[in-house]
Structure 1
């Protein structure tokens, strides 16, 4: 009976092969995105998400609202990889982002993102406790999402909240507003002219405190102590505007650059002064041309305001581009119009337009001209000067849920203890831990047990951040809202369920293992069972036991 003997040998070989998987294991490629179909799947893959090399992305495909346990795991996992989530159509469609380090009386930005049908035109409003502040209509792109920001100016220090409404769907956000008076501005100019006159008027009308230094030539000046910029003058202001006719020499420009970088001031150079090398903004300056208002393209930070696209023609000293570290905030077909950049602890800007007064006098855009200059001065005067900054990613959310706090530390020394003051005036000290992936970033978390306002401050200082815990409005709504915050913080996206898989498949690294194929060990095991069954059948046919 040689056949059964041969089968025994085959079974033995298959058994050895099945029990020695390292000999047959196919080398796996890079790990692909992790799919989360439900809460049980997330719990099963928790360790792989939090330990080892980060995955390219995490995709939550479930249409059920996330539980508190899911959100806890996803919050930790989304720090290591972008989080993508599919939401049902009835989920909240608007998210609101708080302004970063707002100051009382200064321009700040409240951002928002909405989800709607591609091509829809959505009316978005922002309001606070005084009523509606502003509104705009935006069109949703092909991905089903759109975003923007509103410029706000908190009138006073302390906690401030805003509500963003998108066609009936609302989201709330808030921020702690630090104290700051109206910006103090030094306007440096040559012989008084239309531009200097109306720049000063616009700033004074907006509430800014303005000091002027007009140089008349031949040693004459419309300012006590002469028209030159001095360290004493700069010590009294937050921002300095140098207009095109100002006879500012290289020593004054160097003084302005050192003051901005070392003391946190803001400097704006206009027209011919814009090419000052000490500020590192403009590349290839000096092309004098006329610019039409409708030809200007504005790509401003949301804190700044553009000039209207009216039929106005202004003189300009255009520049060919900006240097590394700066960015172009406005341009025309002939060249750059506005360049911005951080400068040490301060900020700097270069403006090519030399006749913005024409918008005010020829087009009648008095309010728009005033807001353009006030918002620009607010941005220059509001550079973060404190080397320690407290950030609360989710400043308005239900009580009873763990909340994250982030500290950005530019100083090398360890920060003072972080104190949280609860609504009942009790205080706790929060332990900070360094983020291993981001030098200079520290994290902590706590659970606001009761509703109310919680303020955060470093020991011995006044509060500089806060959050408000609200009453729960239902697990499903709160869960979707918190999931949306996690997605945004991780730089992922919230997508329709039918759009999630194509997007995630595009993130799969080339060479990643195709998990749809049967593993080799499973094939060998099936062959082993088949061989054993064949031998048993042959034995029965041959009359053997």
Structure 2
């Protein structure tokens, strides 16, 4: 009785496995017929690993060769094929139901990305498969337009990602990011700078060091103008100056020239000497910087430019120049901020609240920065041992805020794509988002259940497993019957 039950179970398993195999095959065939017109045949072309700008033509020719594969060129004889005709539009070569799929192991160079964007814009169905391991990395390199300024390198990428920073001399640093933006400050670097994240890499130019333009200082003759000029020259600036000694007499420093953004990066006004407000307004609007110190905030001709208005004079704290907060030992103006002004730095006052130390506003294409302190020369001459260096660094930093930084960003192209500043985003902008991974069996024939690849079908439902199960079950049932003498 037990043997008979086993035989019946084996026969049932075999029949069920055969039925399941038929159902799976029927569903796959139905899905293939239903999607024959809707699901395109995907042709795969692989670009060369690490393709650069010099290989753009080769990469695009490879695309065309793949499209022409198997179709002899016009005029070919004896089965020979010629190189594809580059004048033939791609949309005339590619059948309308085909889609060109490009597996990319790295983010291509700028010229290759532009070429792929042109291919897609010409009407060719084009998708790409993301094997770059990139996370949309973007980077910038800037340097304050002051002599000796360090490089400010910033990279934006997902937290928990490994980044490598290198220059022409080799690897500078390798870190695992813990936040969205990672920052480096470099004293020097050999161009170009390279940032690598996964298989995504970008190359950035290094901005020129130092400032190519000069400063113009406008001041009354006295200690303030003299030592401000000295501090800026010690910091590396080339300074022109005009010191008004009488209503009609002036003393010049350097070679003062017509106020022009091509010659001057910024104008520094240290006190209440009369100035040409209209000329300074035009200078700032064209992209120049303007730094107002102390009593310059009370010049009537600069009322339309200043980011704050001086109201009451705040006295200096006796002995403050020798403390850890030396600017507390300077007389300063209380400030009434304009609506569009921005506080860049504050100092703790003796009243227990923060007082603005540097304020700024944008006027046209330029910036106006103001500080409330009068007679800052006392910090340099009457302060502690490091008073001279601290006074110089303060004025250098204030000028740097008034002068736009020099960046590595390329001019924005008319097409408004991100470009090399964000290569992954540039690729997505031109070609679209990456397609899901395409699983194709050899020969390009679709397979599987409901249009899935063979590897997506559960192991127990694969045709060869079901067939083997059927054969083994029927063989076991037949063997059992023979052993007990039945047919």
TM-score (norm 1): 0.40
> If each structure's strand is expressed as a fraction of its own residues, which one has the higher value?
1
Largest Rg, 1 or 2: 2
> If each structure's helix is expressed as a fraction of its own residues, which one has the higher value?
2
